[in-house]
A = this chain, B = another copy of it.
Amino acid sequence: MRARQTRTAVLGALSIQPMTGYALREAIRETLGHFWSESFGQIYPTLAELEQEGLVERRGGTRTGSSAFALTSAGRAHLRTLLAEPPQADPPRNGVLLRLFFGRALGPEACAELVQDARDRAERQLAGLATERTDTDHTEHADDSPYWLLTISAGEHAARATIAWADEALATLATLAADGHGHDGEPPTSTKETP
């Protein structure tokens, strides 16, 4: 069986603040974005379910007249239950490492590009997390912010680890390339020696 953690994310987000489905998605993208994601196709059916079970209710209204969803007390209790359940780790799938593992067929240069891209992404993420960190420092939710900072810190550690690894890997790949390992099937380039 797979995740079923969408409810946790939705109830959790609504526990911070009542929101419309649309705002919920934005909040998940922007605030949980570095470790979680949900799509409309998940959010709306889940909200409908939760409403029928009496875990959330509509409260009018935003400026447009549409209604925001808020946790009921049953919903708040259910959230605590869900949070206490052991986290389901979905099986690892890292496309970069998959390619790198078979990197011999690709050649050191193409692999280096792959690694450099990963490094760039990590660098951008680090920058994004820095902004989030200052945002969190200025938030009004003082009781929540220590926990939020924990998740930001996790992202930062992971990103810095990626960068450090990438630098090592790029060095390794450079020496591989210099030693004349072309991609699979290519004859070694004859390094002409100076007379």
Q: Which residues of B contact A110 (CB under 8 A)?
A: 83-84
Of B90, B103, B154, B181, the residue contacting A97 (CB under 8 A) is: B154
Could you tell me if A144 and B104 are in contact, using CB atoms closer than 8 angstroms?
yes
Could you tell me if B95 and A5 are in contact, using CB atoms closer than 8 angstroms?
yes
Q: Which residues of B contact A187 (CB under 8 A)?
A: none
Q: Does A99 contact B (CB under 8 A)?
A: yes
Decide if the interface of chain A is mainly helix, strand, loop or mixed. Answer: helix
Distance from A30 Cβ to chain B, minimum over Cβ atoms (Å): 13
Could you tell me if A36 and B94 are in contact, using CB atoms closer than 8 angstroms?
yes
Could you tell me if A157 and B153 are in contact, using CB atoms closer than 8 angstroms?
no
Of B5, B32, B98, B164, the residue contacting A36 (CB under 8 A) is: B98
Q: Which residues of B contact A151 (CB under 8 A)?
A: 97, 100-101
Contact with B along A132-154 (1 / 0, CB 8 A): 00000000000110111111011
Q: Which residues of B contact A34 (CB under 8 A)?
A: 92
CA distance A87 to B84 in the complex (A): 34
Stretch from A7-15, A17-25, A45-53, A54-62 contacting the other chain: A7-15
Q: Which of A5, A111, A154, A184 has the most chain B CB within a 10 Å cutoff?
A: A154
Q: Does A3 contact B (CB under 8 A)?
A: yes
CA distance A184 to B77 in the complex (A): 10
